[in-house]
Structure formats: structure tokens, C-alpha cells
Structure 1
Amino acid sequence: MAKKLTFDNWNNTAQEKLNSELSDFMDVIKWAFQSYEDKIIYACSFGAEGIVLMDLIAKVNPRATIVFLDTGLHFKETYSLIEKVKDRYPKLHIKMAKPALTVEQQAMAYGDKLWERQPNLCCHMRKIEPLQQELKGVDAWFSGLRREQSVFRKNTEYINKDNKFKRVKICPLIHWTWDDIWTYIDINQLPYNELHDHSYPSIGCEMCTLPVKSGLDARSGRWANFEKKECGLHQA
């Protein structure tokens, strides 16, 4: 198998070779930890995909580092789930990565409810900048992206060159369907965000997430009043 890739030694031919050789999601996770050891983190949103990928990661490396981008604006159900996960996986290192400014400080500097006026700026300060800080000490990061989630994600590979964060982004679940995710959660009796039971397939900050009507795109409840479906973490 091709040697590990880093952003600085990136080679498209090596990437293609790796993506053709890695046979399934567990193969990807095992390869990632063998290649990057402690120089890889998982940035987890604690959605349904996140819980599944965390469980799979824990099977390979029970002491892996999981980073949650704690904007200070998440649903109480999300914070409650994180506590349940900590109890279930006591060896995992779950880190709450916070923005430089509290919600109150942001309101003082930029005005109240920035997410209603400039959601891209709010996401940048509360998600993108904290992840940039967390990625400084590693070569790669896991993401729970799936191809069927949206048109923005349909071309995601197992191993990706992340030009935004200048790291390697590894996505083991690209071929999983929404039904696959829930079958795995049910079989393994995993804890999950109870908002999923109330028409929230994709869960972000409370102020920017609405329930989704049956038959609509899973991410249509995110930033519903804007031409925006991504927080920017997965866009170049």
C-alpha cells in the first residue's frame, strides 16, 4: 500500500492508489491510525454519523482524540449526548474546542445575533477558527461526511486533500446510507441525539437548525433562511 500522505507531500497518483486499495470503512480507519498514529483527530458534531464513526474509531483506537467545536450555541440535547458518550467511552479524549470569544463577547464586538445577519462570519469565528487551532499539531483529521448527504459531498473520497485547512481529511463513511447509519445505531444500541426523533436529520447550532419535512434534503433545515447549507468546514 502507498505510504501515508501529508498535505506537504501530497501526490494525486498516491491518493488514487490509496483510495482504490482501501477496501472498506474499517480498513480506512485502521490505515489512518497506522499511518498518522497520534497525529490525527476526529472533529465530531455528535450527529448520527458522528456517533457511528466514533464507535468505529474506538474499536481501533480507544484512546483517540475527539474534538467537538463547542460554539456555545448548541442544543441542550447535544450537550446531554456528549455526557452520555463520555460515560460510554471513558478512554476517549473528548475535547471541547471553544472560540476565542464567548457568545456575549461576540455580541459586544459584532452586535447581537450575528448568526441572523452574517452567518458565514459567525461560523468562521465559532467553528472554522477553533478547528484551525486544533489541527495545528496534527497531519490529518477524520470526518463523518457521506456522499448522499448533499450535492456538495457527492464526490468525497476516503482520502482527501483538504486545501482549506492544509491537512489530509479522511472520510470512512462515504458509502454509508442514512439507513445504514441507523441500522448500526440500533444494532449496537448507541446513544444518539434525541432531536433525530423529532425530524432533525442534521443538527448544528440551535439558532441555525430547523426540523426537516419528510422528503426534503436532509440539510434543508440548516440556515433555512439563507443560501447556505454548509458551515464552511468542508468547503475550499
Structure 2
Amino acid sequence: MQVALEGLVEDLRHRLAGQSVTDTLELIADHFPDKVAFSTSFGLEDQILTHLIFSHNLPIRVFTLDTGRNFQETYSTWNKTLLRYQKPIEVYAPQRESIEHLVQQKGPNSFYESIEARKECCHIRKVEPLGRALAGQRVWLTGIRAEQSPNRQNMHAVEWDAGHQLIKVHPLFDWTWDEAWEYVREHSIPFNPLHQQGFVSIGCAPCTRAIKPGEDFRAGRWWWEEQAAKECGLHSTAAHEGRDPVVEKLLA
């Protein structure tokens, strides 16, 4: 079974090598009919893929995870996207009981207290809903780019996701940030205005800040933690202990 899966992934890597993003999406949709899902958080990369999927009427499910802690700018971008394309975006939210229990037991900002506490919040608000969103799918499309972090440079444009038991495809994997901006402007694609304020990777409002010149793309995510391969659990779980002194004021 494992050999067959590895062969399938290698075959897809070969088929998609050198293909345009549109051709990649079309090939994946044709090869896995009704079994392809794209997750959007309304960042620049995700807006490009949403534009291509909706503009070409591709049979690919588009969904988002509404954590309940997003920036208002993200919600505005979401609304503009619905108005522009007139296509549905599925919504997956955290389980009410889990959120109520977490906040009642640990308060609304427990994620600042430790890596474990932050991962617990991410799991409830993002990882568990993602599992429901991907149930029954064979391919998960993402807006991941290699340039986003050293950790992601070690990934491949086509991978096997053992956790969700499906193939993961990153159609924009080799794109640069400048190329993404050029495409968005050329096609007048709605984008999150926070990108113009130094935010390159946008997640939940309490956990995201703008980056400073020269900082890593992921430096603005969970900025109080020591810089490492910081992920929320959707794509990786590697992280180290550590808390920024600024957080002490937020917890006071």
C-alpha cells in the first residue's frame, strides 16, 4: 500500500512538473473528480488560487476555517471575494463545546502561556475543523510557497499527508512574493489590506503581527515564541519552548 502511494505521488510530481498553475488545478480536478478541496485563509496566495478555481469554474471545493479570532480585514476580504465571484465558500468552525470549555477553564488568551497551550487552541480552532473539512477527500490544495519559511523549503509541491491520508498539492510552491503581488494586481484580485501594512502571513488576530524588514516570513506568527519551524498543526507541529517578554504584559 505504501509503495503504491509513493508511486502515485511521484507520478503526480512528474505530471505536474513545468505545468502552469491553471493546468495543475485542471489536471488535479480531472484526475480526482469530486475529491479535491482547497483551503483558503484569504491571504495573497489563497486569493490567487480562489480566483483561478472560480474563474475557470473548476470542480474544486473551496472552504475556510473560521477560528472566531480572525482580523476584521480578513472578514472583509472574505466578503469581497464572495461578491466578486458569486461562488460559495464552505465554512468550518470550531466545536462550540470545545471552545466554551477551553475559555471557561483557561480564559480567552491561554495561548500566550506556553507552546502546549497555544497548540491546544490551534487544535480546537483549526486542526479539528480541518479534519472535518477534508473528510472523504483525496487531494488537499494549499497556498503554501517554499519561500515562506526554511521549514517549507524542505517540502515538495506534491506530498503525501499521512495524517489526513491524502495527497497535498501546493500549486504556487515555486512562486515568489513579488510574483504573487504582480499576479494579484494584474487581475485585480481582492486582497487583504493587512498585506500593505507589513503582514505577509495572516492568521488569528491575537497571534499575528506585521514583520520587520529582514525578518522571516513566518516571524509575525506566534511572535512571542522562539523562532523555529513554527506551525499551527495544519502543516507541521515542530516548535520549541520560549516566550517573548511582550507577552508578559498581555498576560498581566
Q: Same fold (TM over 0.5)?
A: yes
Gaps of 5+ in 1: 1-6
Q: In the TM superposition, what is the alpha-carbon distance from 1:40 to its structure 2 partner?
A: 1.2
Q: Which moved more, 1:24-33 or 1:75-84?
A: 24-33
1:20 matched residue in structure 2: 14
Cross-structure match for 2:242: none
- Percent identical among aligned pairs is 36
Q: What residue number does 2:57 align with?
A: 61
User: Is residue 171 of structure 2 the alignment partner of residue 176 of structure 1?
Assistant: no
Once the two structures are overlaid, the 10-residue window that deviates more, 120-129 or 158-167, is 158-167
Question: Are 1:11 and 2:5 matched, yes or no?
Answer: yes
TM-score between the two structures when normalised by the length of structure 1: 0.90
User: Does the Cα contact within 8 Å between 2:55 and 2:85 map onto a contact in 1?
Assistant: no
> How far does residue 112 in structure 1 lie from its aligned partner after superposition?
3.1
The whole-number CA distance in structure 1 between the counterparts of 2:142 and 2:3 is: 21
- Structure with higher helix content: 2
Q: TM-score, normalised by structure 2?
A: 0.84
Cα RMSD for the two superposed structures = 1.9
Match in the other structure for 1:193: 192
Task: Find out whether 1:98 has 2:96 as its counterpart.
Answer: no
Shift of 1:20: 2.1
Contact 2:211 2:217 in 1 (8 A): yes
Q: Which residue of 2 aligns with 1:140?
A: 139
Distance 1:39 1:160 in 2: 16
Q: How many angstroms does 1:64 deviate by?
A: 3.3
Matches within 5 A, 1:1-236: 10-22=4-16, 23-24=18-19, 25-62=21-58, 64-91=60-87, 93-101=88-96, 103-117=99-113, 118-227=117-226, 229-235=230-236
How far is the alpha carbon of 1:136 from its aligned partner? 1.1
Which whole-Å CA distance do the structure 1 matches of 2:61 and 2:7 have between them? 29
User: Would you say the 8 A contact 1:29–1:60 is kept in 2?
Assistant: no
- Asked if structure 2 preserves the Cα contact closer than 8 Å seen for 1:18 and 1:159, the reply is yes
* 1:77-124 alpha-carbon deviations (Å, 9 max, x no partner): 000110000011113x20121000375553114433122221111001
**Aligned CA distance change for structure 1 residues 84 and 16 (closer, same or farther; 3 Å):** same
Contact 1:42 1:65 survives alignment (8 Å): yes
User: Match of 2:6, as an amino acid?
Assistant: N
Deviation at 1:62, TM superposition (A): 4.7
d(CA) in 2 for partners of 1:64, 1:119: 31
For structure 1, which segment, 97-106 or 220-229, has the greater mean C-alpha deviation from structure 2 after superposition? 97-106
Query: How big is each residue's C-alpha offset from its partner over 1:56-83, in whole Å with a ceiling of 9 and x where there is no partner?
Result: 2223435532111100000000001100
The answer to whether the 8 Å contact 1:164/1:235 transfers is no
How many residues are matched?
229
The whole-number CA distance in structure 2 between the counterparts of 1:185 and 1:15 is 30
After the TM superposition, which parts of structure 1 deviate over 6 Å for at least 4 consecutive aligned residues? none
**Which shows bigger deviation, 149-158 or 54-63?**
54-63
Deviation at 1:138?
1.5
Separation (CA, whole Å) in 2 of partners of 1:86 and 1:9: 41
